[in-house]
Amino acid sequence: MPVYSYRGKTILGKVKRGKVTADNIDIAKNLIRSKGVVYIESLKEEKSSGLNMEINLSFMDKVKLKDIVLFTRQLYSMINAGIPLVSALRALEQQVSNRKLKEIIKDVAKQVEEGGRFSAALAKYRDVFGDLYISMIKAAEEAGTLDTTLKRLAEYLEKVEHLRSKVKSAMFYPTFVLIIASIIVAGILIFVIPTFAGIYKEFGGELPALTRMVIKASDFLRDYIGWLIAGIVIFIFIFKRLLKIPKFKYYFDLFMLKVPVFGELILKSSIANFARTLSSMFSSGINILKALDIAAETSNNQIIQEEISKVKEQVEKGISLAVALSRSKIFPPMLINMVAIGEDAGNLDEMLAKVADFYEEEVDTMVDGLTSLIEPLMMVFIGGVIGFIIIAMYLPIFKMGSLIK
């Protein structure tokens, strides 16, 4: 693919030089303008000498939410600047680092260039973009508001990613600390305790009960460490398989909602995601039944999915959304009241956006509180376990006279 070197100026008059890779000079110009260059002084294709080989080991890349967020934000910027859709897609094809997404954009650009609809091209990759993304793009094409919808999508996805990362960090932090603590304790039991045990064995006396208990734990761990690791790996594998069984997933999700503190965190994040999804879809002109369908699919908790499905069934029968939500034990009064106000005032999307903002702030506050609370608790726990082992192993020293025979 040709490489073009350029020299130009930004809107502030700053000289900017660089290189871009593009199929042709028109795409190169669009790509350069997307970098903030408003006046191109020189642009020329560089001649390649020798063998030009591109090696990319990221062919197995998985398209993550943050990749879609960046793609959407950049596409909005280009469309809003007046760059044609095909040219914008061709430019983005050269910019993205994710190999899989690069191939997807290339294929989507080709389909649009051949006369296909953007939404139809994206629908081919439904597992990557999702129903919400495709439905909103389709509605935007019909209304002629692609740039506005892309901006709304980018903002929605950024908030969803922020919310997910917050919840994941709250779940991951204690798990990570426990794993590190377990490795430290296992290291002490496997490598340090046997040295003490060998010394005390030479004395021949009876060791204190705490010391004997720690030595037995050390012996057990040394003898069965391989089996324990294999058991953990097998458990994780079986657990992931079980989560694919609907009935097991249902009871696991129910259990997670009942876990103190973490259950409340999951529920609040789910409510925020539900409200944000409905708000984005309503503002794009998507009908309520389709919006509820997609909102159910975007929820990771099966209990909440079923409740949303029940709400949809009632709305289908002509019941208002607020009344349908009030008949569920999952949805909080604030959401119901705001939906009722929005339905009466005709600004349901705005009310739902405010609900989403509120619960996202609640999640942020809860995560910050949990982190500040868990950190000292974990330190006390780790210190307590290691302190217990140290005391158990040094206890015989205080009884040295009775140990020596």
pLDDT in tens, 291-313: 898 888 888 888 998 999 999 99
Average pLDDT over residues 220-245: 91
Residue 55 pLDDT > 50:
no
Residue 60 pLDDT > 50:
no
Candidate from 274-278, 297-301, 400-404 with smallest mean pLDDT: 400-404
Q: Give the pTM.
A: 0.68
205 confidence band (pLDDT: 50, 70, 90): low
Asked if residues 35 and 18 have their Cβ atoms less than 8 Å apart, the reply is yes
**Range among 36-40, 143-147, 235-239 with highest mean pLDDT value:** 235-239
Average pLDDT over residues 365-383: 82
| Cα 61 to Cα 253: distance, rounded to the nearest angstrom | 29
Average pLDDT over residues 112-122: 91
278 confidence band (pLDDT: 50, 70, 90): very high
Averaged confidence pLDDT in the chain: 84
State the pLDDT at residue 310. 93
Q: Between vectors from CA 65 to CA 101 and to CA 109, what angle results, nearest 5°? A: 30
- Six-digit token string for 400: 């040295």
State the pLDDT at residue 47. 58
Asked if residues 43 and 6 have their Cβ atoms less than 8 Å apart, the reply is yes
Asked if residues 264 and 366 have their Cβ atoms less than 8 Å apart, the reply is yes
State the pLDDT at residue 285. 85
How far is residue 27 from each of residues 21, 31, 85, 147, measured CA to CA in Å?
9, 6, 11, 19
Asked if residues 30 and 79 have their Cβ atoms less than 8 Å apart, the reply is no
57 confidence band (pLDDT: 50, 70, 90): very low
Residue 12 pLDDT > 60:
no
Angle of the 99-113 helix axis to the 85-95 helix axis, nearest 10 = 160
Residue 58 pLDDT > 50:
no
Residue with tokens 């040709």: 2
